[in-house]
Structure 1
Amino acid sequence: MPHNSPENVPFVTYLWVLALSLWGGIASNIRKVRNGTVRFSISELVGDVVISGFIGLLTYFICEYYEVATMLTAVFVGISGHMGTKAIFAMETFITKRLRLETEERE
Structure 2
Amino acid sequence: MPEKDPTTYQLITYGWVIFLSCWGGLVSFINKVKKGEARACNFVELIGEIVTAGFAGVLTFWLCEAANFNALITAAIVGISGHMGSRAIYAMEIWLTNKLKNRSPL
With normalisation by structure 1, the TM-score equals: 0.89
Corresponding residue of 2:55: 54
Displacement after TM superposition at 1:18 (Å)? 0.4
Note the 1:6-45 alignment, pairs <5 A.
6-40=6-40, 41-45=42-46
CA RMSD of aligned residues (A): 1.4
Structure 1 CA distance, aligned partners of 2:94 and 2:67?
Answer: 19
Letter aligned with residue 25 of structure 1: G
Aligned counterparts of 1:90 and 1:61: Cα–Cα separation in 2:
15
In 2, Cα distance between equivalents of 1:66 and 1:4: 11
User: How many Å separate the matches in 1 of 2:80 and 2:20?
Assistant: 9
Query: Which stretch of the first structure deviates more once superposed, 4-13 or 83-92?
Result: 4-13
Identity among equivalent positions (%) equals 46
Give the Cα separation in 2 of the matches to 1:14 and 1:38: 29
Moved over 3 A (4+): none
Question: How far apart are residue 24 of structure 1 and its match?
Answer: 0.3
CA distance in 1, matches of 2:53, 2:66: 20
**Would you say how many aligned residue pairs link Structure 1 and Structure 2?**
101
Name the amino acid aligned to 1:57.
Answer: V
TM-score for both structures, normalised by structure 2: 0.90
- Unaligned segments of structure 2, at least 5 residues: none
